[in-house]
């Protein structure tokens, strides 16, 4: 992955994986209100959660300004991994996607 060309697609938004699912057997007004609020502030990503536009305040000029002290979720995010490639594919143009990829990146996404 050519992070220098990508300029931080992974740092422009976040997915909250614990999207609240209503229980059809006992609908809760609170759960329904939370779901409504989340859907008004982001987009539902099937089987993943809710994506919110939330650019990282450390992302400046396409790079992390505090890379050595970045939080654990950033450390665990695998550059060139499936999540990374999917993020780049959806947030960059097809031409940029091809330019950003390395020859060692997975060929396809599952």
- The pLDDT value recorded for residue 21 is 63
- Contact 49/18 with Cβ under 8 angstroms? yes
Angle at alpha carbon of residue 93, lines to 48 and 47, rounded to 5°: 10
Q: Report the residue count for the chain.
A: 110
- The pLDDT value recorded for residue 23 is 62
Q: Mind listing the pLDDT tens digit for each residue in 28-44?
A: 777 778 777 887 888 88
**CA–CA gap between residue 56 and residue 59 (Å, rounded):** 5
Which portions of the chain are predicted below pLDDT 70?
Answer: 18-27, 107-110
All structural domains of the chain with their residue ranges: 3-100
> How high is the mean pLDDT of the chain?
85
* DSSP secondary structure, 24-88, as one string: TTS--HHHHHHHHHHHHHSEEETTTEEEEE---TTEETTEETTGGG--HHHHHS-TTSHHHHHHH
- Contact 50/15 with Cβ under 8 angstroms? yes
76 alpha-carbon distance from chain centroid = 13
Record the pTM: 0.72
């Amino acid at each position: 992955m050519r992070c220098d060309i990508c300029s931080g697609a992974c740092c422009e938004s976040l997915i909250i994986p614990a999207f609240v699912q209503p229980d059809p057997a006992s609908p809760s007004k609170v759960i329904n209100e939370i779901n409504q609020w989340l859907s008004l502030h982001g987009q539902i990503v099937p089987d993943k959660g809710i994506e919110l536009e939330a650019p990282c305040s450390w992302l400046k000029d396409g790079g992390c300004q505090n890379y050595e002290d970045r939080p654990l979720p950033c450390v665990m995010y695998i550059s060139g991994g499936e999540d990374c490639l999917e993020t780049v594919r959806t947030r960059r143009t097809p031409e940029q996607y091809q330019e950003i990829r390395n020859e060692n990146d997975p060929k396809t996404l599952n």
